[in-house]
Structure 1
Amino acid sequence: MSATQPGKKPTVKQQRAAERERKLEAYRKREAKMKRNRLIAIWSSVGVGVAIIALIVTSVVLTPRAANYTAGGDGTEIEGVQTFENASEHVQGVVDYAQTPPAGGQHNPAWLNCGVYEEPVPSENAVHSLEHGAIWVTYDAEALSDDDVSTLRSKLPSTYVILSPFEGLPSPVVLSGWNSQLQVDGVDDPRIEQYLEEYWQSQNVPEPGAACTGAIDGPGKVA
C-alpha cells in the first residue's frame, strides 16, 4: 500500500486500513494489560498462600499442646497437698475465703468459663468451676517469666482448667481443686502433673461433670 501524499486526503481503503491497524494496536495493548494482571493475580495468590501456610505452621509450632490426664484420680497421696472441708452454697457478693487462693466454699451462682486468662478473675465465679471438677491454676505474675507461664500452660489439659494470675499468693504457683490445694515454687515441679492426674475432674466434688463452659468469661481471657 502506497503512503498518502502530503495534502492529499486518504482514500477509503487507506482509512479502513488505518482503522484496522488502530483497532489491532488497541487489542494488543488490552491483551498485554490482561496478561500483566493475570501474572499479578497469580503471584498475589502465591504470596497469600505462602503467608497462610506460614501462619498455620507458626500456629502449630507455637500453640501449646494440651496435656492428657485421666479424670477422677485413684487416691494417690501427693506430698504437700492440703485438704479442707469447705461447704458449698450459692451466694451473691464478695466472699471472704479461708484459703488463698480459694479452694471451695460459698460462691457465685454463675461459674467461670474454663480457659486461659491473663488477668485476675473473680474468685466467687472460679470457685463455682471447682465445684464442677475444674482445677484452678494460679501464678504470681511477678515471680514467673513469660516462658515460665508458657511452660505451665503446656502442662494443662484442654478443658476443666482455669489458668490465671493471682495477687498475694503464698508461692509462685498454686493449684486448687475443690477442697484440695498444692503450692509449688516453680513450673518444673513434677507434682504439678501429679496433682492434675489425681484431682482433675474428680468425682469427689459437689457437682462432678457439670459444665465448665456456657456461663461467664472473666477479664483477659485468651483461650
Structure 2
Amino acid sequence: MNKKMIFWLVGAALLGGGWVWQFVMHGAGEIKVPYKDQAIYLAEQGRDHLDLGVDHPPYSSIPPTSGWHTPDSHVWGVSKDPIPDEIQVHNLEHGGIMIQYKPGIDKSTGNNIIEKLEEIGRRYKSKVIVAPYPKLGKNIALTAWTYLDKFNDFDENRIVGFIAAHIDQGPEFVPD
C-alpha cells in the first residue's frame, strides 16, 4: 500500500469513528436531520429589572424574548401553569429556553402534543421550561434571548434544534 492510500484510509476511519462517537454521546437529544433555524431575531428591548405588576412598555413579541423583567426567575422544568412574561424574560436572560403551548391544543388537534413537549423538556436538567401560554396565536412557541419561533405542528427536530442553537446564549451566563 502506498502512503497516499494509507492517509485516505486513516482519514475515513477517523471520520467514521467521529460519527459513531457523536451518535453514542448525543443520542437522546440528537438532531435527526440537519436543523434549519426558523426563528426570527428580535432586537433586544433592554434588561431593566422591575417588580412584578409594575407597568412597562409593551414587549415587541408574544411571548417576549427580552426586555423588562423581575429579579426573580422560575425553576427549570415543566410547569402546568402559565409563567408571567416578566419572569420568563429573566430565565431567557440566563440563557434559558421557553417551550410554550396554547392551552387545549391536545383537544383541538387530537394529538398528545403537551406530553411530547414535556418529554423533551425533561431531557434537560436545566435551562429549559415547558409551560402553557394562553396568549399564543400558534400552537407552539419557542423563545430564547432575542429569538422566537412559532408554529402549529409538533416537530421534534425543530424544537431540539432550536434548543441546541440557542441554549446558554443569553447575555448573563449562569452555570447549571
Same structural fold, with TM-score higher than 0.5 when normalized by the shorter chain: yes
- Which amino acid letter does the alignment assign opposite residue 63 of structure 2? P
Q: CA deviation digits over 1:63-113, x for unaligned, max 9?
A: xxxx547xxxxxx751x2111122111122254322101111110111122
Give the CA deviation at 1:201: 1.8
Is structure 2 residue 73 aligned with structure 1 residue 111? yes
Between the aligned partners of 2:147 and 2:84, the Cα distance in structure 1 is: 19
Is structure 2 residue 90 aligned with structure 1 residue 90? no
Between the aligned partners of 2:97 and 2:70, the Cα distance in structure 1 is: 17
Structure 2 unaligned regions, length at least 5: 1-27
Describe the shift of the 1:209–1:193 C-alpha distance in structure 2 as closer, same or farther (beyond 3 A).
same
**Identity, % of aligned positions:** 24
2:146 to 172, 175, 179: 179
Q: CA deviation digits over 1:148-204, x for unaligned, max 9?
A: 1111122232311111100121210000000001112122352111111101122xx
Between the aligned partners of 2:153 and 2:79, the Cα distance in structure 1 is: 19
Structure 1 unaligned regions, length at least 5: 1-66, 70-75, 212-223
- Which amino acid letter does the alignment assign opposite residue 147 of structure 1? N
- Aligned residue for 2:131, secondary structure, equals strand
Between the aligned partners of 1:210 and 1:158, the Cα distance in structure 2 is: 12
- TM-score of the pair, normalised by structure 2: 0.69
Is structure 2 residue 102 aligned with structure 1 residue 140? yes
2:174 to 209, 214, 219: 209
Give the CA deviation at 1:206: 1.5
1:41 maps to none
RMSD: 2.2
Query: How many pairs are equivalent?
Result: 137
Describe the shift of the 1:77–1:105 C-alpha distance in structure 2 as closer, same or farther (beyond 3 A).
farther
